[in-house]
Amino acid sequence: MSFIRYQTPDTYRSVFNPVIGFSDEVRGKVNAFIEARVVKFFASIGKSYDEAKFIELYDTITDREFQNTSAELANSYFYQHLFTDIEKLNDGCISDTIKYAITFDRDLTPLSVDNISYGTIKIANRPVLYYILFDLQELIRVSKS
C-alpha cells in the first residue's frame, strides 16, 4: 500500500521538504495567515518584513544538507541564495540583508519569540536566513475556517 503517492519534485533542493498545496478556494486564506505570522515575527525581532526576501520552500535546505560539506552545496545554495546580495559596509560589518523561509521541520527552529518558533543561518554571527516554523495542522485549520 502506498499511503503517500507523490514524491518530492526533482526541482526541490531537499528531498526532506514536503510538497503541500491547497485549492484556489482556500489558498489565499492560508497565505494571508502565513504572511501575518511572518510580519509578526519580524516585528518581534525588530526587523522590517518589507525588506526581507522570501526563499521558496523548494529552494530551502534542511540540517541534513548542511552535513554535506561539498563545494557543490556551497556554490549552489549559499552563494546563490544567501551571499548574492550581502555587502561589506565601510565600518567592516556586513549589510543587513535578511532572507526567510517557511518550514515544517521543527529541528530547524530551536528558538522562539512571541510563540513563533524559528531558526537561523548566521554569517559573522548575524542572521542572514530565518526559518519560520508552521504546523501543517494549523494551516489545515485555517483552510477550514
- Asked whether 56 and 102 are in contact (CB, 8 A), the reply is no
Does residue 90 register a pLDDT over 80? no
Question: What confidence score (pLDDT) does residue 63 get?
Answer: 64
DSSP letter string over 79-105?
A: IIIISTT--B-TTSPBP---EEEEES-
| Mutual angle of helices 24-44 and 136-144, in 10-degree steps | 130
50 in helix, strand or coil?
A: helix
**Residue partners of 33: CB distance under 8 A and separation at least 6:** 139, 142
Global pTM reads 0.78
Task: Kindly report, residue by residue over 98-138, the tens digit of the pLDDT.
Answer: 889 999 889 889 999 999 999 998 877 878 889 999 998 99
